Amino acid sequence: MRKKDDQKTEQIIEAASQVILSNGAAALSTTQVAKKVGISQSNIYIYFKNKNDLLFHVYLAQLAVLRPIFDDALNSNLNTATLLQRYITTLYQFALNHDDRLTIIDQIKHLANSPLKNTGEDPDNDRQYARQLIMRGINDGTLRNVDPSIHLSIVFNTVRKQASIVRNSSDDISFEPVLDMIWSAISNPKTD
C-alpha cells in the first residue's frame, strides 16, 4: 500500500475546493479532483475513504481558517451586546476577504446527503460561537426570544449579501448602517 503524502492531501483538498466553487458541492466528482491534481482517480482513495470523506475534510479545512479568527475576536469578558456586535463585524470582515470559504462551508452543509450528517459532526459547528452568544443573549434578555436559527440566518445572510455588494462596488461603503440594521432586527427592544 502506498504511503500518504501530506502535501498531496492538501493538494487534493484544494482541488476539491476549487471544483466546489466552480460547479457546486453536489457536482463534485473524484475524477475531476484527480484530474486537477494530476493523479489517477484511484489514488484519491489512498487519502480519503470515499467522496463524503473528501467533502468532510474540505469542510474541516475551511473551518481551520475560520476558527482562529473568531477565537481572537471573541476571547474576552465583554458584555453580550458588545461580543455579538464584534462577532457580526468579524464575520463581515471574513466574508469580505474569504467568501469562497464561507461558500464551500455552506455548500457542504446543505447537501442532501451531507457528510456532516453521517459523521456525527454538528452541521452548525462553524456557528457554535455565534450560537453560544445568541443563546447567552436570549437568556440574558439582550436578544429577542426567538429560535437561534432565525438570529443566525439574519446575521449570516445579511453579512454575506453586504460583503458581496462591497466587493462588487468601487464605492467606499460603510458597514456601520448594516450592523445597526442587523442589531435592530435581533436585539430585544426592551433592553436597547
Rounded alpha-carbon distances, angstroms, from residue 163 to 79, 90, 96, 99, 142: 26, 12, 5, 8, 26
> What is the mean pLDDT of the segment spanning 40-49?
95
Domain ranges of the chain: 1-48, 63-186
User: Contact 101/66 with Cβ under 8 angstroms?
Assistant: yes
Note the pLDDT of residue 88. Answer: 95
Question: For 32, which DSSP code?
Answer: H
184, β-bridge pairs: none
Tens digits of residue pLDDT in 9-39? 999 999 999 999 999 999 999 999 999 999 9
Per the model's pLDDT, the better-predicted residue between 126 and 140 turns out to be: 140
Note the pLDDT of residue 128. Answer: 67
> What is the mean pLDDT of the segment spanning 110-137?
73
Cell numbers of 50, please?
A: 470515499
CATH of domain 1-48: 1.10.10.60
Element of type H or E holding 100: helix 80-109
Indicate whether 109 pLDDT > 90: no
Domain range 63-186, CATH class = mainly alpha
Q: What is the DSSP string of 151-191?
A: HHHHHHHHHHHHHHHHHT-SS---SHHHHHHHHHHHB-TTT
> What is the mean pLDDT of the segment spanning 92-103?
94
Note the pLDDT of residue 130. Answer: 75
Tens digits of residue pLDDT in 60-77? 999 888 888 877 777 778
Domains 1-48 and 63-186 belong to one CATH topology: no
Rg (C-alpha) for the chain, rounded Å, is 19
Q: What is the pTM of this model?
A: 0.81
> What is the mean pLDDT of the segment spanning 105-109?
90
Question: For 142, which DSSP code?
Answer: S
Tens digits of residue pLDDT in 146-171? 999 999 999 999 999 999 999 999 88
